[in-house]
Amino acid sequence: MEKKLKKTKEETQNDLPPIPLTRKELKNLFNYHIPCLCCGREMLPPDTYMNLMDSKELGGTACEAIKVLEPYEHIMHPVEKQVFNMLKSMSSKYPDKNFQELLEMKKDIHELALVKIQSSIFNKVSFYRRILPKKMARQLRKLMISTNDIIFDPEPHKPFSRRIFIHKLKNIIRNLNNKKVKEEIIKIARRLPRSSDEVCAFVVKNTRKKPAVIALNLIHSSVGTFEHLTPKCMKGLSNSLNFALECSYCNNSRHHYPIPIQIEENPDMPKNAQLQADKLISLCKKDICNKEYIENLREVLYWLSDRYINLDISHLYLT
């Protein structure tokens, strides 16, 4: 029998179609009011965000920071927009205070609201102790006690971290044979509020931040990013053959889930993907985007979404 020869890196690359756009060319598209593939919101160009990071006004009084951020209010995500409007209203009463000082004034009431939501979810997670193996049940009980100590302590040594809690929970139940129960527990835990999903979580988390960081967090969810359609952990390519344009919020929210699950959580995604395709086609007509990228995007989305996303790119071929 002949030995199977492993393909060299060069040979593997030769099997792939040419890369439609360089990273620089793809990044340039964010400057043309591109809607997010998933949520359909206009995205903030990454270079604009980087320039705002150098703005000294964001670390000054709320009135100064608001003037800098107001041009981007229309692309803020719902939670960030609510917080921004709250800060705008408060700044008229307290013009000498900065963002951190204004959030500190609202911390107590929002912290109470956050703890109520968290407690309800923790109780639902704790319920599964009744059906877990004894060792796992004891570990879960220990985790819940330490977690409650944190959220009910007005000045905890370390603040509660949703990410760390879910990570510890996964470790406890990783050897659980009942896959359905395991998925149910993690699904409930993922309902824990994030600063991008709940105003109370945003206020509590950001009260500890510097004023300039709070200001940047109001627009960070809107920043345009490259989304790996096939995740890197599944050997997805890191070039425009596998890149779609998504806002930071949608990119981070997806985790490594398949696109059909992303569509379940965002039912308008197929419609929003079409909005993006239409915009890309219009840019192609102006020689800003190219036809090959749009054709590849349509093909990749069609198969990875189990045919849920079937982009109409017929206008691409009209003269």
* pLDDT at residue 165, rounded to an integer: 95
Average pLDDT value for residue range 284-288 = 96
Residues 135 and 25 in one domain: no
Residues 161 and 204 in one domain: yes
pLDDT above 70 for 55:
yes
Round to whole Å and give the CA distance between 81 and 61: 18
Angle at 89 between CA 78 and CA 50, to 5 degrees: 55
pLDDT above 90 for 12:
no
Round to whole Å and give the CA distance between 172 and 160: 18
* Domain-terminating residue out of 177, 192, 220: 220
pLDDT above 50 for 43:
yes
Round to whole Å and give the CA distance between 184 and 179: 9
Residues 59 and 181 in one domain: yes
Please give the model's pTM, rounded to 2 decimal places. Answer: 0.86
Average pLDDT value for residue range 34-44 = 97
Average pLDDT value for residue range 94-114 = 96
Residues 202 and 88 in one domain: yes
Round to whole Å and give the CA distance between 163 and 221: 17
pLDDT above 60 for 185:
yes
Residue 11 lies in a domain: no
More confident residue, 10 or 137: 137
* pLDDT at residue 10, rounded to an integer: 46
* Domain-terminating residue out of 193, 220, 247: 220
* pLDDT at residue 154, rounded to an integer: 82
Average pLDDT value for residue range 215-230 = 97
> Is residue 246 a contact partner of residue 292, using CB atoms and an 8 Å limit?
no
Per the structure block, which two tokens stand in for 43? 């995205």
Residue 115 lies in a domain: yes
| Of 286, 291, 288, 299, nearest in space to 317 by CA | 291
Residues 243 and 292 in one domain: yes
* pLDDT at residue 249, rounded to an integer: 95
Q: Is the dihedral of CA 193, 195, 200, 206 positive or negative?
A: positive
Map tokens 């919020």 to a residue.
249
Average pLDDT value for residue range 231-248 = 93
* pLDDT at residue 155, rounded to an integer: 82
> Is residue 255 a contact partner of residue 38, using CB atoms and an 8 Å limit?
no
Domain that holds residue 169: 49-220
Residue 1 lies in a domain: no
Residues 139 and 110 in one domain: yes
Average pLDDT value for residue range 289-304 = 97
Residues 227 and 310 in one domain: yes
* Domain-terminating residue out of 220, 250, 284: 220
Residues 182 and 80 in one domain: yes
Q: pLDDT by residue (tens digit) across 196-212?
A: 899 999 999 999 899 99
Residue 5 lies in a domain: no
pLDDT band at 15, cuts 50/70/90? low
* pLDDT at residue 119, rounded to an integer: 95
Residue 307 lies in a domain: yes
Residues 198 and 284 in one domain: no
* pLDDT at residue 157, rounded to an integer: 84
pLDDT above 50 for 232:
yes
* pLDDT at residue 220, rounded to an integer: 97
Residues 62 and 30 in one domain: no
Q: For the chain, what is the domain count?
A: 2
Residues 198 and 237 in one domain: no
pLDDT above 50 for 315:
yes
Please give the span between the terminal C-alpha atoms of the chain, in angstroms, as a whole number. Answer: 56
Residue 9 lies in a domain: no
* pLDDT at residue 14, rounded to an integer: 54
Round to whole Å and give the CA distance between 245 and 29: 9
Average pLDDT value for residue range 288-315 = 96
Residues 106 and 92 in one domain: yes
pLDDT above 80 for 3:
no
* pLDDT at residue 40, rounded to an integer: 97
Side chain identity, residue 150: I
Residue 301 lies in a domain: yes
Q: pLDDT by residue (tens digit) across 120-155?
A: 999 999 999 999 999 999 999 999 999 999 999 888
Alpha-carbon dihedral angle through residues 146, 151, 153, 158, given to the nearest 10 degrees: 70
Residue 87 lies in a domain: yes
Round to whole Å and give the CA distance between 133 and 281: 56
